[in-house]
Structure 1
Amino acid sequence: MLATFTVIADIAREVAGDAARVESLTRPGVEVHDYEPTPGDLVRTEGADLVVTNGWGIDDWLLTLVERQDAPHVVLSDAVDPIAIETGHYAGNPNAHAWVAPGEGARYVEALRVAIGDLVPAERAAIDERARALTARLESLGERLREGVARVPARQRVLVTCEGAFSYLARDAGLDEASLWPVNAGGQGTPQSIAEVAAIVEERQVPTVFCESTTHPGTQEQIARDAGVRFDGSLHVDSLSTPDGPAPTYLALVEHDIEAVLEGLGG
């Protein structure tokens, strides 16, 4: 079984257990949006019994490979109600980063439970049990997030990030969202967006601003210095960390991001 990037590969791995071998096309720390498939990726895709993609544009680079072979293909974002990107070139398109929020992650788990169970029907009972356990963990993390945010002063309930990749988590947690650039903008904040974020930080007295681990933090660090607030550049989104990092698994990624956000906002 083959997944496009490390995050969804790990979700699939947790659901499959010993029932199937799961590989990721990309390695930890690799930028997913602009990944260019290699000839070796074509060979791996052709040999897969099931191909798992996120969809909504983030891994469309695999579609030409998938079209060349007959393996079943599950698109995890099909299980999620999309939030539209509001600004930039991709305005109106779905924000692809649904897995960051525990509730949407649970929808990914359910889609994989069905697809892997169909692939290995003799292992369906064990697959179902692992999916239930993973969903329960995600539900617990979702409760932790909501309870923590409820302790943050209402004025300060703003999640300020570099890329607008946390729309689902912010919505589910009851946080407003502000970012320097929209999803897929390649790390380019405009003078207007930078000024708007800086104004929000000051007006809402936001205690911490964040950046994703795979993006350049310079502008956000400057905003933090100018406002006299804390900067945290440790959030993980598109990629797991190496085994010795803070997000070596999907559950660890979600937990790390939630704890970082709550610590930064005072929840």
Structure 2
Amino acid sequence: MRTHVLPRRSLLAVTLAAVAAPALAQPARPKRVVATFTVLADMAQNVAGTAVLVESLTRPGAEIHDYEPTPLDVVRAQAADLVLWNGLGLERWFERFFSRVNGVRDAVLTLGITPVGIGGGPYANQPNPHAWMSPTLALIYVENIRRALTAVEPQHEAAFQANATAYAAQIRAVDARLRERLATIPAERRVLATCEGAFSYLTRDYGMREAYLWPINSEDEGSPRQVRALIDAVRRSRVPAVFCESTVNDRPMRQVARETGARFGGVLYVDSLTGPDGAAPTYLKLLEANAETILRGLTAAPAAR
């Protein structure tokens, strides 16, 4: 069998051409964004679309206030191009955590929001950090996300703007539905009694009153004093149903229900989304699921007392 051999001059020409040819361009690595919890990650993904990879440090169902970051979380944040966090004291662990991350941009998403103050207890007069529970304030989150994404990936500015505009329209539509639905609750029943005082912004938006066991999720949850104070408030206002959030133990609130004759109205979602098969897999679903649970609990026929 004959083997074809290139003449020496032809072989040299091929070699020189190969050296001179530009290397094949490698596809650019998509920018990565890490958010501190699932609600922010979902908001960011809606604005980012397919241009940026978004992930949450915490998993669905995790409690965010006293989350304990792992070494892997530090690695994930260090590999990101942008870290998004809520601020207003929500992530009490964040500044210590982020001090271990070098050279990565961050953005606090409550910038520009005037917070509601916490009414009492050890956190009195500190800002209530749960501003995303107001759809109106969620629009500020969306704009802050758009700006932060544009800063790290300016070539996709038009896409981010279009996505943010479309997402803001969806939030406004949900807000309108919630306003209409919650307005049907009779005035004397418009008291939202929950485990954590995480609904100050929602109750302000929809003309309700708020009662709760503890102001902020912490190590001091469901103390005898807190339970007794809420029992008195529920009896005084004849609250028909009480609720608790998905990320905390509902036992103290069930005690309130037993001792007052109020119903346990169900689970509300605040600090975390659910998995895809749950009631609140997205921020918009979270708002709608909460509204339906509140509506059912506060409009049902009164329980015997």
TM range (shorter): over 0.9
Distance in 1 (alpha carbons) for counterparts of 2:169 and 2:200: 22
Q: CA RMSD of the aligned region, Å?
A: 1.8
Cα distance per residue 1:126-170 (max 9 Å; x no partner): 211211122122212222222223222211111100111111111
Distance in 2 (alpha carbons) for counterparts of 1:249 and 1:25: 16
- Contact persistence 1:3–1:25 (CA under 8 A): yes
Structure 1 unaligned regions, length at least 5: none
Instruction: Please say if 1:224 is aligned against 2:238.
Output: no
Answer with 67-76 or 174-183: which moved more: 67-76
- Contact persistence 2:113–2:140 (CA under 8 A): yes
Residue in structure 1 matched with residue 291 of structure 2 by the alignment = 258
- Contact persistence 1:208–1:230 (CA under 8 A): yes
Secondary structure, aligned partner of 1:78: coil
Residue in structure 2 matched with residue 198 of structure 1 by the alignment = 231
Distance in 1 (alpha carbons) for counterparts of 2:165 and 2:235: 43
Residue in structure 1 matched with residue 218 of structure 2 by the alignment = 185
Cα distance per residue 1:48-98 (max 9 Å; x no partner): 111101112222423234334222211012231111112222222111111
Identity of matched residues, %? 48
Distance in 2 (alpha carbons) for counterparts of 1:219 and 1:36: 24
Aligned equivalent of 1:29, options 52, 55, 61 = 61
Residue in structure 2 matched with residue 248 of structure 1 by the alignment = 281
Secondary structure, aligned partner of 1:22: strand
Distance in 1 (alpha carbons) for counterparts of 2:261 and 2:232: 13
Secondary structure, aligned partner of 2:50: helix
Distance in 2 (alpha carbons) for counterparts of 1:63 and 1:45: 13
Residue in structure 2 matched with residue 128 of structure 1 by the alignment = 161
Secondary structure, aligned partner of 1:21: strand
- Contact persistence 1:163–1:187 (CA under 8 A): no
Distance in 1 (alpha carbons) for counterparts of 2:220 and 2:188: 27
Residue in structure 2 matched with residue 44 of structure 1 by the alignment = 76
Equivalent AA in structure 1 for residue 58 of structure 2: T
TM-score by length of 1: 0.93
Instruction: Please say if 1:12 is aligned against 2:47.
Output: no
Secondary structure, aligned partner of 1:185: coil
Distance in 2 (alpha carbons) for counterparts of 1:89 and 1:200: 20
Equivalent AA in structure 2 for residue 149 of structure 1: L
Distance in 2 (alpha carbons) for counterparts of 1:190 and 1:208: 20
- Contact persistence 2:65–2:218 (CA under 8 A): no
Equivalent AA in structure 1 for residue 102 of structure 2: Q
Secondary structure, aligned partner of 1:23: strand
Residue in structure 2 matched with residue 238 of structure 1 by the alignment = 271
Deviation at 1:187, TM superposition (A): 5.4
Secondary structure, aligned partner of 1:18: coil
Instruction: Please say if 1:153 is aligned against 2:154.
Output: no
Residue in structure 1 matched with residue 19 of structure 2 by the alignment = none
Distance in 2 (alpha carbons) for counterparts of 1:92 and 1:102: 23
Instruction: Please say if 1:212 is aligned against 2:239.
Output: no
Answer with 96-105 or 17-26: which moved more: 96-105
Distance in 2 (alpha carbons) for counterparts of 1:155 and 1:110: 37
Equivalent AA in structure 1 for residue 123 of structure 2: Y
The change in CA–CA distance for 1:149 and 1:131 in structure 2 (over 3 A counts) is same
Distance in 2 (alpha carbons) for counterparts of 1:55 and 1:241: 22
- Between the two structures, name the one with larger relative contact order (CA 8 Å, sep ≥ 6): 1
Equivalent AA in structure 2 for residue 243 of structure 1: P
Equivalent AA in structure 1 for residue 68 of structure 2: E
Cα distance per residue 1:97-146 (max 9 Å; x no partner): 11122112121111101111222222222211211122122212222222
Equivalent AA in structure 1 for residue 165 of structure 2: R
Deviation at 1:240, TM superposition (A): 1.0
Q: Give the number of equivalent residue pairs.
A: 267
Instruction: Please say if 1:55 is aligned against 2:87.
Output: yes
Distance in 2 (alpha carbons) for counterparts of 1:187 and 1:66: 26
- Contact persistence 2:66–2:92 (CA under 8 A): no
- Contact persistence 1:217–1:233 (CA under 8 A): no
Equivalent AA in structure 1 for residue 98 of structure 2: V
Structure 2 unaligned regions, length at least 5: 1-32, 301-305
